[in-house]
Amino acid sequence: MTAAPSSPTASAILDSAELDRLIAGLSGEGYQVIGPTIRDGAVVYEPLQTAAALPWGWADRQDGGSYRLVKSERNAAFDHVVGPQSWKRYLYPPVQRLWQAQRRGRGFLGVTRNPPTPHYAFFGVRSCELHAIQIQDRVFNNGAFADPGYLARRAAAFIVAVNCARPAGACFCASMNTGPRASEGFDLALTELLDSERHEFLVEVGSAKGAAILGCLSYRPAGDSDIKAAQTVWDAAANAMGRTMPAGVETLLKHNLEHPRWDEVGQRCLNCGNCTLVCPTCFCTTMEDVTDLTGRTAERWRKWDSCFTLDFSYIHGGSIRRDSRSRYRQWLTHKLANWHDQFGSSGCVGCGRCITWCPVGIDITEEARAIRDNGG
Amino acid sequence: MASTVDPLPALSEHAPRVREDSSDFFGADPMLPAPYRIHKRRQELSDTFTLELAPADSSRSLAFGPGQFNMLYAFGAGEAPVSISGNPANPATLVHTIRAVGPVTEALWDLKSGDVLGVRGPFGAAWPVAEAEGSDVVIVAGGIGLAPLRPAIYHVLNQREKYGSVCIYYGARTPADILYRSELEKWRGQFDLTVDVTVDRATGKWSGKVGVVTRLVARGGFDPSQTVALVCGPEIMMRYAVKSLKQQGVANDRIYVSMERNMKCAVGFCGHCQLGPYFICRDGPVLRFDRIEPLFEIREL
Ligand SMILES: Cc1cc2nc3c(=O)[nH]c(=O)nc-3n(C[C@H](O)[C@H](O)[C@H](O)COP(=O)(O)OP(=O)(O)OC[C@H]3O[C@@H](n4cnc5c(N)ncnc54)[C@H](O)[C@@H]3O)c2cc1C
Ligand code: SF4
Ligand code: SF4
Ligand code: FES
């Protein structure tokens, strides 16, 4: 659904107690429901049995290099924003067997036995994350080649979006035009309406699948005052965004491949690769080949990789990107500039994860600004 | 490398090489290698060999453009990108010339005639042999870089009348490193080809030229304003070759280079092969030089 922000075409109001029935309804349809829950002090995406597992009453404090959950002053289900994980871990697992082959005489036989495609219902997908999923859709179906496993998981997925009531400290989706309000790409979208009078959810319907699930719940049609209340939530989130990506960053970076700032940030960067692992659009992988002890069975595994490793660019004779500076430059220019040539959009959706989870607090918006403000 | 896996129940010999999950709907999986049998193995140099392959499970032939490459899989060891070095007019036989430099290429080295390896491909952009019709063609190769250029040479020779002057300039480290030596000698004897070979360092009873391959380019033998140049070799060699071609007056947009980058997938999924906006596996390996010239100057891009 691509309704204009103030006039959702089909919307309903659910009482907060109905979230449980929504989860149950999705499970009943054969989906494995994955949603936000708290583990080890952070919000992670894991299988949800009931709505009770949601992070009720918790909010996150995020800033460069820091993440902390705090009790919020209200008992909202979705006052937290994004954590270290993203949905890519389900659509595009960190470790995946591509195939297995058996030795046969002087040859071998390629066989694969992949588990049946899981049907996931992603519960609580933020607007930036919807955009990230759509970006990965273009990566894994690039016109010439498609990844059948990804496409199958993606086609089977049900998406319940959640509109952010507040941005986290590292967010800058507004300046990337990727949020905070979910405009399309969901089956259902929730906006949490919580004040002294009520604790309800505005539900917008984005697909026939979504309408069918909504039909199993008890709801009432949304009235003008409900829409107005939701609008207040959407506006509040958009207006509270603390960070922005400078406009024109694509050309800026392309014209500044030798800017001294790369040396400077290259000295701070630890090349740990955290940013690439938490980024919801980063897709790089490496291959690992294994054999069993008899040497008769071989397997090929695909694993998430990072452009921050030396091996990543290794060719016979040595790695191309030996310096930290070159690797940081690769990450930032790929994400913010070259991605446009490759996939028709930025590779950044402004979720802020790379800022929060960078152990030394490197902030990509600040790096872009530093280049712009210093002769870039 | 040799971690243990749980063997799955073996499928029958006739199991289709497809995924069980929705593969019909979503098309073939580009990551699955097809089995090819080695019909001939020829030792080329001390560390370099050529394999002639044909499909092990069918009679399909693999049409390819000169300059394209395959991912070759050695059982249990892994995959490596390797250019096709055979004659595009004879796609029934797949030819690869390989230098053993590391784990995968060494595992390929160990294979014998009759053994089976895995092939995915062909991938990537080809040399512009059709666009070059009517022009002079200058081929500048260094070391193993002659292998990806050989299909272009075959193509030009197959349709010799469609091209103007044709020059092949080849440089190797020592006389013992000259690839396809007897073929080069045969071509050198052909009246309608200019073939010149140089070595960095003369050894044994080498009486030919000594020096970098760019010096051969400087000797001309072609009309720079009417020339398409195809260059493949180590990056440093390509840098100088391009410079020399430009000095002769060959335009940037008529010079083509074949780039090497780390490649794990060859289909645009793994991200390893990027050079600026390009995926070398998909947009390359053959790239028109004017497209990458600004990037070529930047260290460690
Ligand atoms: C498009 C293209 C076409 C090509 N065509 C040909 C061809 O026709 N013929 C040919 O011979 N070659 C060709 N090559 C080069 C060939 O692909 C490589 O030589 C081959 O991949 C080497 O693989 P390997 O496993 O044998 O060795 P390596 O690449 O040396 O080793 C494999 C792995 O070991 C690791 N490793 C090894 N040493 C180091 C180190 N010092 N530092 C860090 N990591 C290390 C790396 O992770 C690497 O991925 C081509 C390459 C490309 C991209
Ligand atoms: S680059 Fe950073 S802010 Fe942008 S999408 Fe990736 S993790 Fe989020
Ligand atoms: S930018 Fe930060 S998170 Fe990314 S590799 Fe460098 S130190 Fe790690
Ligand atoms: S080799 Fe994987 S993207 Fe090019």
**Residue B121: closest C-alpha in chain A:** A145
> Over pLDDT 90: what percentage of chain B?
84
pLDDT band at A3 (very low <50, low <70, confident <90, very high): very low
Buried b (16+ CB within 10 A) or exposed e, A166-197: bbbbbbbbbbbebbbbbbebbbbbbbbbbeee
CA of A353 to the centre of ligand 2 (A): 6
pLDDT reported for residue A177: 96
Nearest C-alpha to atom 37 of ligand 1 is from which residue? B102
Closest-CA residue to B30 (of A288, A147, A95): A147
Helices (H), A95-201: 127-139, 148-156, 173-176
pLDDT reported for residue B220: 85
Question: Per-residue pLDDT averaged across A279-296, rounded?
Answer: 95
Q: Measured between beta carbons, which residues in chain A are less than 8 angstroms from residue B78?
A: 287, 289, 300
Q: Measured between beta carbons, which residues in chain A are less than 8 angstroms from residue B25?
A: 152
pLDDT reported for residue A109: 76
Name the residue among B27, B265, B272 with its Cβ closest to that of A146.
B27
Q: Residue B190 half-sphere exposure, CB side, CA atoms within 13 Å? A: 17
Sign of the torsion formed by the C-alpha atoms of B127, B133, B134 and B137: positive
Residue pair B267/B33 in contact by the 8 Å Cβ criterion: no
pLDDT band at A9 (very low <50, low <70, confident <90, very high): low
Question: Is A4 a residue whose pLDDT tops 60?
Answer: no
pLDDT reported for residue A115: 76
Question: Is A7 a residue whose pLDDT tops 70?
Answer: no
Residue in this structure with the two tokens 């990844």, named with its chain if needed:
A147
Return the CA Rg of chain A. Answer: 22
Structure-block tokens of residue A153: 């998981």
Question: Is B2 a residue whose pLDDT tops 80?
Answer: no
DSSP state of A311: G
Strands A32-39, A42-47: pairing is: antiparallel
pLDDT band at A260 (very low <50, low <70, confident <90, very high): very high
Q: Report helix angle B235-248 to B289-296, nearest 10.
A: 120
Contact A313 B262 (CB under 8 A): yes
Question: Is A165 a residue whose pLDDT tops 90?
Answer: yes
Residues 76-135 of B with CB under 8 A from A: 76-79, 101-102, 114-116, 118
Q: Residue B124 half-sphere exposure, CB side, CA atoms within 13 Å? A: 31
Give the integer Cα–Cα distance in Å for B172 and B175: 7
Question: Per-residue pLDDT averaged across A234-255, rounded?
Answer: 96
Give the integer Cα–Cα distance in Å for A6 and A231: 7
Question: Per-residue pLDDT averaged across A334-363, rounded?
Answer: 98
Residue pair A299/B235 in contact by the 8 Å Cβ criterion: no
* Residues with Cβ within 8 Å of residue A76, at least 6 apart in sequence: A56, A57, A59, A165, A192, A194
Strands A188-194, A158-162: pairing is: parallel
Strands B94-99, B78-83: pairing is: unpaired
Closest-CA residue to A284 (of A263, A310, A302): A302
Chain B touched by A287 (CB under 8 Å):
yes
pLDDT band at A106 (very low <50, low <70, confident <90, very high): confident
Question: Per-residue pLDDT averaged across A228-234, rounded?
Answer: 96
pLDDT band at A61 (very low <50, low <70, confident <90, very high): very high
CA of B101 to the centre of ligand 1 (A): 7
DSSP state of A240: T
Q: Which residues have CB under 6 Å of ligand 2?
A: A 278-281, 335, 348-354, 364
Contact B298 A114 (CB under 8 A): no
pLDDT reported for residue B27: 56
Give the integer Cα–Cα distance in Å for B234 and B242: 12
Nearest C-alpha to atom 2 of ligand 2 is from which residue? A354
Question: Is B262 a residue whose pLDDT tops 60?
Answer: yes
How many other C-beta atoms lie within 10 A of the C-beta of residue B111? Answer: 18
**Of the bound ligands, which one is closest to the alpha carbon of residue B273?**
4
Question: Is B1 a residue whose pLDDT tops 60?
Answer: no
> Residue B193 is which amino acid?
L
Strands A120-125, A32-39: pairing is: parallel
Question: Per-residue pLDDT averaged across A328-355, rounded?
Answer: 98
Give the integer Cα–Cα distance in Å for A343 and A331: 16
pLDDT reported for residue A112: 73
Please write the tens of the pLDDT for every residue from B163-180: 999 999 999 999 999 999
**Residue B78: closest C-alpha in chain A:** A289
Closest-CA residue to B286 (of B111, B125, B76, B58): B125
> Residue A58 is which amino acid?
W
Ligand 4 in contact with B181 (CB < 6 A)? no
Please write the tens of the pLDDT for every residue from B85-140: 999 999 999 999 999 999 999 999 999 999 999 999 999 999 999 999 999 999 99
pLDDT reported for residue B25: 39
- Extents of the domains making up chain A: 11-239, 249-373
**Residue B37: closest C-alpha in chain A:** A107
> Over pLDDT 90: what percentage of chain A?
91
DSSP state of A337: I
pLDDT band at A292 (very low <50, low <70, confident <90, very high): very high
Residue in this structure with the two tokens 């004659």, named with its chain if needed:
B87
Ordered DSSP codes for chain B = -----PPPPPPPTT--SS-SSSHHHH---TTPPEEEEEEEEEEEETTEEEEEEEESS--------TT-EEEEEETTTEEEEEEB-S-TT-TTSEEEEEE--SHHHHHHHT--TT-EEEEEEEESBPP-TTTTTTSEEEEEEEGGGHHHHHHHHHHHHHTGGGSS-EEEEEEESSGGG-TTHHHHHHHHT-TT-EEEEEESS--TT--SEES-THHHHHT--S-GGGEEEEEES-HHHHHHHHHHHHHHT--GGGEEEE-----S-SSSSS-TTEETTEETTTT-BEEEHHHHHHHHTSTT-
Contact A285 B276 (CB under 8 A): no
pLDDT reported for residue A64: 96
Question: Per-residue pLDDT averaged across A191-195, rounded?
Answer: 96
Name the residue among A109, A117, A258 with its Cβ closest to that of B21.
A117
Can you tell me whether residue A250 is helix, strand or coil?
helix
Q: Please state which of the ranges A334-343, B141-150, B216-225, B254-263 shows the lowest mean pLDDT.
A: B216-225
Can you tell me whether residue A99 is helix, strand or coil?
strand
Domains with residue ranges and CATH for chain B: 32-123 (2.40.30.10), 136-258 (3.40.50.80)
- pTM of full prediction above 0.90: yes
Q: How far is A346 from chain B (nearest CA, A)?
A: 12
Chain A touched by B29 (CB under 8 Å):
yes
Residues 246-265 of A with CB under 8 A from B: 257-258
Give the integer Cα–Cα distance in Å for B294 and B301: 11
Contact B19 A117 (CB under 8 A): no
Segment holding A364, helix H or strand E: helix A364-373
> Residue A125 is which amino acid?
V
